[in-house]
Amino acid sequence: MPTLDLGVLVSGNGTNLQAILDAIAQKKLDARVRLVVSNRPGVRALERAESAGVESQVVDHKQFSSREAFDTALVEALRAKDVELVVLAGFMRVLTPQFLEAFPGRIVNIHPALLPAFPGTNAVRQALDYGVKITGCSVHFVDAGVDTGPVILQRAIPVLDADDEISLGERIHREEHALLVEVLALIAARRVRVVAASSGKRARVVIEPER
Ligand code: GRF
């Protein structure tokens, strides 16, 4: 099976990027990070890429006159590295249809809630404010909506009475790292299949058994 070539888009700390890099180094994930792209200069995620000897680029959205122009630059950078799968790992920009068309069915995102609950920003805060007793994290394929694409895997995490945004956010973050690596390993093993939408049912993901 060919090694999965990843492009990882980041905007900040990059702990999920780190989890990917660690899993590859420990041979738990048969993949290569061909390129890390940050839309913000000077973020910790870029240092993590450098420490791992992985190429990185800053494509600063503020330098572009439109979202289309920004996304075109992203696509060019990723294509130049033959990226097969794009991982949004804390990437804080909504992508245009042009970007989605450049990588059809080949973009995944990690979100800190059990989708379809609490999409968008501040998902941990939203869960606390609502008063749910269980939240979690989701990895899903990216479609044209915000956090609406087919869910690949999810993990549930209990909300404790004493939780605040920091304590709950930290527990979710830890689970995210394991979940993201698990999903990428399944994709690398070509075991993730999307079943197209039909008769009122949304497109959904099935995990093929190990061969
Ligand atoms: C994660 O909580 C992820 O779910 C969200 O952004 C955060 C990124 O964290 N999309 P990190 O930069 O990977 O540490």
pLDDT for 100-119, tens place per residue? 999 999 999 999 999 999 99
Answer yes or no: is the C-beta of 12 below 6 A from any ligand 1 atom: yes
Bigger pLDDT: 1 vs 140: 140
Q: Decide if 105 is inside a domain.
A: yes
Distance (angstroms) between ligand 1 centre and the Cα of 55 equals 20
Q: Decide if 143 is inside a domain.
A: yes
Cα separation, 158 vs 112, whole angstroms: 13
We report the CATH number of the domain holding residue 77 as: 3.40.50.170
pLDDT for 31-81, tens place per residue? 999 999 999 999 999 999 999 999 999 999 999 999 999 999 999 999 999
Q: Note if 111 is an active site residue.
A: yes
Amino acid at residue number 191: R
Q: Over the Cα atoms of the chain, what is R_g?
A: 17
Of the candidates 61, 111, 173, 177, the residue annotated as catalytic is 111
Q: Which domain holds residue 45?
A: 4-109+138-154+180-207
Q: Decide if 126 is inside a domain.
A: no
- Grade residue 196 by pLDDT with cuts at 50, 70 and 90: very high
Q: Decide if 27 is inside a domain.
A: yes
Q: Residue 150 carries which DSSP code?
A: P
Cα separation, 109 vs 180, whole angstroms: 9
Q: How many domains does the chain have?
A: 1
* pTM for the whole structure: 0.97
Does 41 sit behind a cis peptide bond, omega within 30 degrees of 0 on the bond before it? no
Answer yes or no: is the C-beta of 89 below 6 A from any ligand 1 atom: yes
Across 97-133, where does the E strand assignment appear? 107-111
Q: Decide if 121 is inside a domain.
A: no
Q: Decide if 51 is inside a domain.
A: yes
Q: Decide if 162 is inside a domain.
A: no
> Span 145-156, mean pLDDT?
97
Instruction: Give the closest residue to 58 by CA, choosing from 126, 12, 108, 107.
Output: 12
Answer yes or no: is the C-beta of 112 below 6 A from any ligand 1 atom: yes
Q: Decide if 195 is inside a domain.
A: yes
